[in-house]
């Protein structure tokens, strides 16, 4: 009697099958098997917020298979992901399969490797009901908000809209940044640059610092001009030389958030693509017999912990020592400080086996898998290496009453930078220029001015959020959890509250109007601190310190009152979504076109509709796609109904002739396309026709000659019987028209 192991995904099942042997059967549930119904609220608010779960539509066959296998299994192990969502899936599986909740059937592993999986199977535990309740509380809370707020939005904004607790916050963040940008007033400032010469003729570029030892900002051209005038009258005296050595520690290994930020910045991946690829690396890749077949390449990718196991650190030290030398790793393993509130259930994201270097296994990975794995591998290895060491030099110059400064740095010891460049994480605004050796500089020496310039600048508005910067904001403010960031961003884009403009996230008029309505009527729902506090409450439930009922009761009273007030205060027609105007003129009437969203995405439309119905498609870059203009082909025959000119048109089934007086006259005639193949029955031409919405082929004398076929007639003859050959595109098959002849040829491209 074999044992049964249930996981979420087929890919994970394939990897684990190779580790457990023939005495284990591994089956995938393919995600959740039960959920709240889509057709209704599914929560009994009057009965302690009891949820009503049903089997998910389309999961009947999976559930039936799991029940059948469970009946004959010796032991059942629920090996879903090691987080709240995974715990809830195991709980639903146990409920559906009739497994007692006190039975030790739950197994978890942070990495899908042979040793980790086998060890987990040896040490099963009971399902953690606290984690399940934390997931249920989030699910029920989000269902209440979504299902009770959405009808309010349908009535007052636009039908078909939906609201979400954390998604509404994300839309607010992006909308408020857009308001900041619009209201931003640039401030003028000036910089003064001066190049001086040393005694040996080398040059040093300096910048204005201030006056009397205090840093000064030059706000006007007059102030900058005064400095320029002064430095031409007095010599530059080297008044200070400061040398120092600076160590730069490596960045810690990835959490979910930092992985998404870095992969977005360095690889240009969107968060959905990042998490999909990370899931593939975690669940397992077939590395061939050379590396033992299927193997999970990274640890669990949904984590906000910076902890690394001792065995992983030892393996990293050995690799660093072998490839770079002892000086490239610190005397003792690094310990990184985690942010307050971070969960420590799993390790940071790291390679399961650090010795599987990216280049070793590159040929087994897709391009996305290789690039993300390389990023994770390099970040982890670098995090266990010695600090980089820089020699810092700062030179102060006095010219009259003003001070100028030059700073520079040189890399003295690469340390972790030999593996991973994280310089963007350590920007401090300091100029990093190459300066002459200190041995060639004499404090108090006068240096002549070689060049100078004053430059005007203006302060810039804050940048729009990108996926990376939005994720960082959410994490820094405790909004959502690493596992939810991708879903949050996808949802606000899919609902047309936000659109992408290159890498930037830009609020739509719909998003801004909805955000304003939510802020005015449901301030708690879109309040940053409120949302962060809810995350803390979910955590307290997971720790067993709070209960589902207490958290939901505390929330619902205020929410229900706010909803009733909003229904009284906001009337249909009060909310108007302003059109989003473009700078593209309508070529038919001259009005500036506006952006619209249809079933196939955004497009430009003339605001003069219905008088002017002009539209323009938008390309991937968001710019209008110009319609191709072609010369109209005029037929050599007239319309049979009105005598008008017939012109060639193209439709979904090919070319046809239509009356030029359309829509007054709707006469059409199919264009005859000859194949250059003779009819096997009468010798006339075979032409293309359309029937039942599909192209078929028939004799031009049809119906006098009844030859027709759905397959493409070929000019070649059958080598066995001499009859016509036909090509069946759906199967890439050439076969003889004569049904009594068995000739056929497969895998033919035509």
Report d(CA 654, CA 444) in Å as an integer.
86
The conformation of residue 46, written as its DSSP 8-state character, comes to T
Backbone angles phi, psi at 403, to 5 degrees: -120, 140
Look up the domain containing 545 and give its range.
Answer: 137-184+464-569
- CATH number of the domain where residue 44 is located: 3.40.50.140
Residue 718 in any domain: the answer is: no
pLDDT at 431: 46
The answer as to whether 497 is a domain residue is: yes
Final residue of a structural domain among 458, 491, 517: 458
Q: Identify whether residues 245 and 392 lie together within a single domain.
A: yes
Residues of the chain with pLDDT under 50: 428-431, 629
Bridge partners, residue 6, by sequence: 27, 78
Question: Distance between CA atoms of 194 and 229, rounded to whole angstroms?
Answer: 12
245 and 394 both lie in a single domain: yes
Helix axes 165-183, 485-494, angle to 10 degrees: 70
710 in any annotated domain: no
Calpha distance 499→273 (Å, rounded): 17
Q: Which of 260, 298, 269 is nearest to 480 (CA)?
A: 260
CATH of the domain at 472: 1.10.460.10
In a domain, 503, yes or no: yes
Query: The whole model's pTM is what?
Result: 0.76
Q: Are 109 and 171 in the same domain? A: no
- CA angle, residues 432, 434, 436, in degrees to nearest 5: 140
Cα-to-chain-centroid distance, residue 183: 29
| pLDDT recorded at residue 495 | 85
Last residue of a domain, one of 397, 424, 458: 458
Total domain count for the chain?
A: 6
- Between helix 467-476 and helix 256-267 the angle, nearest 10°, is 160
Q: Are residues 565 and 655 in the same domain?
A: no
Indicate whether 320 and 403 sit together in one domain.
no
Q: Which of 19, 24, 300, 324 is catalytic?
A: 300
Residue 733 inside a domain? The answer is: no
What does the H/E/C string look like for 657-674? Answer: EEECCCCCCCCEEECCCE
Q: Is 698 inside any structural domain?
A: no
H or E element that contains 548: helix 548-569
Same-domain check for residues 358 and 339:
yes
Give the angle 332-333-337 at the CA atoms, nearest 5°: 120
Is 282 among the residues known to form the active site? no
Tell which residue, 492, 503, 494, has the closest CA to residue 465. 503
Tell me if 574 is assigned to some domain.
Answer: no
Domain boundary among 405, 429, 458: 458
Instruction: Compute the 3-state secondary structure of the chain and give helix, strand, coil in percent, each to the nearest 5.
Output: 35, 25, 40
One domain, residues 180 and 192: no
Residues 151 and 219 placed together within one structural domain of the fold: no
Written as six digits, the tokens of 265 are 């910045």
Q: 89 and 173 share a domain? A: no
Q: Is residue 264 domain-shared with residue 379, that is, in the same domain?
A: yes
Query: In the prediction, which pLDDT does 298 show?
Result: 95
User: Tell me: the pLDDT tens digits for 186-196?
Assistant: 999 999 999 99
Where does residue 85 rank: exposed (0-12), middle (13-18), buried (19+ CB within 10 A)?
buried
Residues 444 and 514 in one domain: no
pLDDT for res 429: 43
Q: Residues 6 or more apart from 590 whose CB is under 8 A from it? A: none
Q: What DSSP character marks residue 368?
A: H
User: What are 36's two structure tokens?
Assistant: 């709240």
DSSP 433: B
Question: Are 262 and 378 in a shared domain?
Answer: yes
Domain-located, residue 333: yes
Burial class (CB in 10 A: 0-12, 13-18, 19+), 725: buried
State whether residue 218 is helix, strand or coil.
strand
């Amino acid at each position: 009697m074999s044992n049964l192991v249930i996981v979420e995904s087929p890919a994970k099942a394939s990897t684990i099958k190779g580790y457990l042997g023939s005495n284990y059967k591994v089956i995938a549930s393919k995600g959740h098997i039960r959920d709240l119904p889509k057709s209704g609220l599914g929560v009994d608010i009057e009965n302690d917020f009891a949820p009503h779960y049903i089997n998910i539509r389309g999961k009947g066959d999976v559930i039936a298979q799991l029940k059948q296998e469970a009946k004959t299994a010796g032991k059942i192990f629920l090996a879903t992901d090691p987080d709240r969502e995974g715990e809830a899936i195991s709980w639903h599986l146990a409920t559906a399969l009739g497994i007692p909740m006190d039975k030790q059937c739950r197994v978890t592993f942070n990495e899908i490797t042979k040793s980790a999986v086998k060890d987990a199977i040896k040490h099963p535990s009971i399902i953690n009901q606290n984690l399940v309740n934390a997931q249920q509380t989030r699910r029920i809370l989000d269902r209440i908000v979504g299902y009770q707020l959405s009808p309010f939005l349908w009535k007052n904004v636009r039908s078909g809209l939906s609201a979400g607790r954390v998604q509404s916050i994300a839309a607010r963040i992006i909308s408020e940044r857009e308001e900041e940008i619009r209201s931003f007033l640039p401030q003028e400032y000036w910089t003064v640059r001066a190049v001086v010469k040393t005694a040996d003729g080398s040059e040093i570029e300096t910048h204005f610092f201030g006056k009397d030892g205090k840093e000064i900002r030059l706000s006007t051209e007059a102030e900058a001009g005064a400095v320029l005038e002064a430095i031409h009258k007095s010599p530059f005296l080297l008044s200070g030389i400061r040398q120092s050595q600076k160590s730069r520690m490596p960045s810690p290994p990835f959490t979910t958030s930092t992985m998404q930020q870095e992969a977005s910045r360095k690889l240009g991946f969107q968060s959905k693509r990042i998490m999909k690829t990370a899931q593939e690396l975690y669940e397992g890749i077939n590395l061939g017999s050379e590396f033992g077949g299927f193997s999970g390449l990274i640890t669990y990718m949904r984590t906000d912990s910076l902890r690394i196991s001792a065995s992983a650190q030892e393996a990293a030290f050995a690799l660093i020592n072998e490839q770079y030398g002892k000086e490239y790793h610190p005397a003792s393993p690094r310990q990184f400080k985690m942010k307050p509130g971070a969960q420590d259930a799993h390790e940071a994201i790291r390679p399961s086996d650090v010795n599987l270097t990216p280049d070793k296994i590159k040929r087994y990975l897709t391009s996305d898998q290789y690039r993300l794995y390389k990023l994770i591998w390099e970040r982890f290895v670098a995090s266990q290496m010695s600090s980089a060491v820089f020699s810092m030099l700062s030179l102060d110059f006095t010219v009259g009453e003003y001070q100028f400064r030059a700073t520079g740095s040189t890399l003295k010891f690469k340390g972790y930078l030999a593996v991973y460049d994280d310089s963007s994480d350590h920007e401090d605004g300091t100029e990093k220029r190459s300066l002459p050796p200190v041995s060639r500089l004499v404090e108090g020496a006068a240096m002549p001015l070689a060049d100078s310039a004053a430059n005007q600048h203006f302060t810039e508005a804050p940048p729009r959020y990108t996926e990376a910067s939005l994720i960082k904001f959410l994490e820094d403010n405790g909004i959502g959890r690493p596992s939810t960031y991708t879903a949050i961003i996808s949802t606000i884009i899919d609902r047309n509250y936000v659109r992408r403009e290159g890498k930037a996230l830009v609020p739509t008029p719909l998003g801004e109007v909805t955000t304003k309505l939510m802020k005015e009527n449901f301030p708690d729902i879109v309040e940053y601190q409120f949302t962060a506090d809810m995350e803390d409450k979910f955590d307290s439930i997971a720790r067993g310190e709070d209960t589902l009922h207490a958290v939901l009761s505390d929330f619902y009273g205020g929410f229900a009152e706010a909803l009733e007030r909003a229904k009284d205060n906001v009337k249909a027609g009060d909310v108007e979504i302003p059109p989003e105007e473009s700078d593209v003129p309508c070529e038919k009437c001259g009005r500036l076109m506006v952006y619209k969203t249809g079933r196939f995405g955004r497009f430009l439309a003339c605001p003069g509709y219905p008088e002017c119905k002009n539209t323009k498609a938008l390309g991937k870059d968001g710019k209008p796609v110009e319609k191709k203009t072609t010369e109209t082909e005029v037929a050599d025959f007239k319309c049979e109904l009105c005598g008008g000119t017939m012109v060639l048109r193209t439709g979904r089934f090919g070319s046809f002739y239509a009356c030029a007086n359309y829509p007054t006259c709707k006469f059409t005639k199919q264009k005859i396309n000859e194949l250059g193949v003779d009819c096997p029955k009468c010798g006339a031409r075979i032409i293309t026709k359309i029937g039942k919405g599909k192209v078929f082929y028939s004799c031009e004398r049809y119906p006098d000659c009844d030859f027709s076929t759905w397959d493409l007639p070929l000019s070649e003859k059958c080598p066995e019987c001499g009859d016509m050959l036909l090509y069946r595109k759906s199967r890439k098959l050439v076969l003889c028209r004569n049904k009594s002849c068995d000739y056929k040829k497969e895998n033919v491209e035509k």
